[in-house]
Structure 1
């Protein structure tokens, strides 16, 4: 059996220690996991973009945040695909370019409730296993519409991290000192660029 490459998509707006702690847990505590690739979503068809940091800032922040842990990577595959970006297309592109890898998609219980609305969800679950981590306020129950596909969905017992990117953005706008919420590897220059953008918004 191939070792698993976990795909962790998200807006990472911006990435914080909750994202990194969860990814660290998955790499170290779940069986047969070789590595985890973060995927910075350029556009989520189900979400508004009003408060979304520019793509290049979010990608630079993630790249800086994951420095020093060799099992983390950053996939830019979605940059090569047409917009809007759909997970099914992303997975198929990755499987075509990396046939030697066994991919698993990592999503939160907040996304689990929305899975029936995802583009081509039946085809997606035929292509890839989905692991679901707990998020505050969500039950973790597989939607009834997907019961016939539930064998492809696994709930994982990861620690629940109650840090939100919206809290981080608000704190940075207000010049709060929150070093223990943010990756220590973020450069001062990048930090100032993000804060400047947030304050303009």
Structure 2
């Protein structure tokens, strides 16, 4: 299955903890813009995780990444839609359907989530009604058993051949590394004292050491 078809309008949906947003998140959004006419993203609460910053803060950080990328593309193609945010995929998809009733919803997930999806709330109610597009994550190979179970639950899966740099929010929370976060975020992370980043992580003016 191709990522987009001329006969059906599609909207790619990328909900993420963004805790914090990484260069990997940016690469996913950039890749989705190359595949889909409309991309919506939001920061969300993941009931399976402990978050390092409040949702409002994470949404603002993700918004900075969206603003930077959106400026490089046709207006409106990449949108931060916090109104779609929910800890339950079912609720997010219901909101998407209200906003884009004529679009085919494509939920974008990392390969690390495939084994988890069958345990999500009311999965049998929403999974058959959207496409599931899988982005490979380093260290999380796609397992045949996971795919078979999702297909039994009604899932329609496609694989997105995107090259995503190895970067995990959990790694940044343990060991702050400015190379793993989009450059526009660093001043905000330092100013708000988030995730352990300090002024020493900011690039030197004029490239001076």
Q: Report TM bin, short chain.
A: 0.7 to 0.9
Give runs of aligned pairs for residues 51-130 of structure 1, distance below 5 A.
51-70=51-70, 71-78=77-84, 85-130=87-132
Query: 2:49 maps to which residue?
Result: 48
Cα 1:16/1:96, change in 2 over 3 Å? same
Q: Residue 75 of structure 1: CA displacement? A: 0.9
Cα 1:9/1:60, change in 2 over 3 Å? same
Query: 1:27 maps to which residue?
Result: 33
What SS class does the counterpart of residue 95 from structure 2 fall into?
helix
How many Å separate the matches in 2 of 1:55 and 1:75? Answer: 13
Q: Residue 167 of structure 1: CA displacement? A: 2.4
Given that residues 18 and 161 in structure 1 are in contact (C-alpha distance below 8 angstroms), is that contact kept between their aligned partners in structure 2? yes
Given that residues 84 and 96 in structure 2 are in contact (C-alpha distance below 8 angstroms), is that contact kept between their aligned partners in structure 1? no
How many Å separate the matches in 1 of 2:183 and 2:194? Answer: 20
Cα 1:18/1:146, change in 2 over 3 Å? closer
Query: 1:8 maps to which residue?
Result: 14
Cα 1:138/1:7, change in 2 over 3 Å? same
What SS class does the counterpart of residue 195 from structure 2 fall into?
helix
Cα 1:183/1:139, change in 2 over 3 Å? closer
Alignment RMSD, CA only?
Answer: 2.4
Q: TM-score, normalised by structure 1?
A: 0.79
Q: TM-score, normalised by structure 2?
A: 0.76
How many Å separate the matches in 1 of 2:11 and 2:183? Answer: 25
Q: Residue 112 of structure 1: CA displacement? A: 0.8
Cα 1:96/1:164, change in 2 over 3 Å? same
Q: Please state if 1:146 is matched with 2:143.
A: no
Q: Please state if 1:162 is matched with 2:161.
A: no
How many Å separate the matches in 1 of 2:124 and 2:156? Answer: 10
Q: Residue 109 of structure 1: CA displacement? A: 1.0
Query: 1:192 maps to which residue?
Result: 190
Given that residues 124 and 154 in structure 2 are in contact (C-alpha distance below 8 angstroms), is that contact kept between their aligned partners in structure 1? no
How many Å separate the matches in 2 of 1:90 and 1:37? Answer: 11
Kindly tell me the number of residue pairs found equivalent between the two proteins: 183
Structure 1 stretches of 5 or more lacking a match? none
CA offset digits 1:48-75 (Å, max 9, x no partner): 32x4211121111111122133332211
How many Å separate the matches in 2 of 1:198 and 1:183? Answer: 14
Q: Which one has more relative contact order, counting CA pairs under 8 Å at least 6 apart?
A: 1
Cα 1:141/1:181, change in 2 over 3 Å? same
